[in-house]
Structure 1
Amino acid sequence: MEAEVDNFGFQKADSDLDYIQYRLEYEIKTNHPDSADLELSPLAEEEKTVTVQLKSHITDS
């Protein structure tokens, strides 16, 4: 039961972060249309590694 609760918490956090990213991108495009060349920088190798580890932890739980 505890693992299910932890897994739900991770899934909710991941969903919340996705929504925040979407909203930020929308606000930037809406309020600063002249910054169309503005792009998010790709993840650094360390960030990619942590992302993979977190996703692995979530699926293992």
Structure 2
Amino acid sequence: MKAEVHKLELMFQKKNPVTFLKELSAIKFQYQSLCACFKPVAVEQKESKSCICAAVNKTMNVIQNLQKQTDLELSPLTEEEKTLKSHMPDL
């Protein structure tokens, strides 16, 4: 990223607007290519998160049902569980 910023700074110093526009266009193409590469990753990450949240919710429901059946009380969340819950607001 720093190299790209430096490249832009150099482009602004150039006098020839045609060269500037060509290089700017090339950077735009690189950016669009990167976005296209990362879009499937973002979609897959979102799907994975949803699956994990669903599995955790299902597990929590099973535990709660077992606790009700055995007359056990739910203990307060540990710090680790609180941290996990804060990173997964869907829970």
Question: Above 0.5 in TM-score?
Answer: yes
For the residues of structure 1 that align with 2:64 and 2:57, how far apart are their CA atoms?
A: 11
Q: What displacement does 1:29 show?
A: 1.2
For the residues of structure 2 that align with 1:27 and 1:20, how far apart are their CA atoms?
A: 11
Q: Aligned match of 1:10 in 23, 42, 49? A: 49
**Percent same amino acid at aligned positions?**
12
Structure 1 residues 47, 20: closer, same or farther in 2, change over 3 A? closer
* More contact order relative to length (CA 8 Å, sep ≥ 6): 1
Matched, 1:41 2:76: yes
Q: Please give the root-mean-square deviation of Cα atoms over the aligned residues, in Å.
A: 2.3
Residue equivalent to 2:62: 23
Matched positions, count: 50
List alignment gaps of at least 5 residues for structure 2.
1-39
Residue equivalent to 2:14: none
Q: Which has the larger radius of gyration?
A: 2
For the residues of structure 2 that align with 1:55 and 1:27, how far apart are their CA atoms?
A: 24
Structure 1 residues 9, 19: closer, same or farther in 2, change over 3 A? same
Q: What displacement does 1:11 show?
A: 1.1
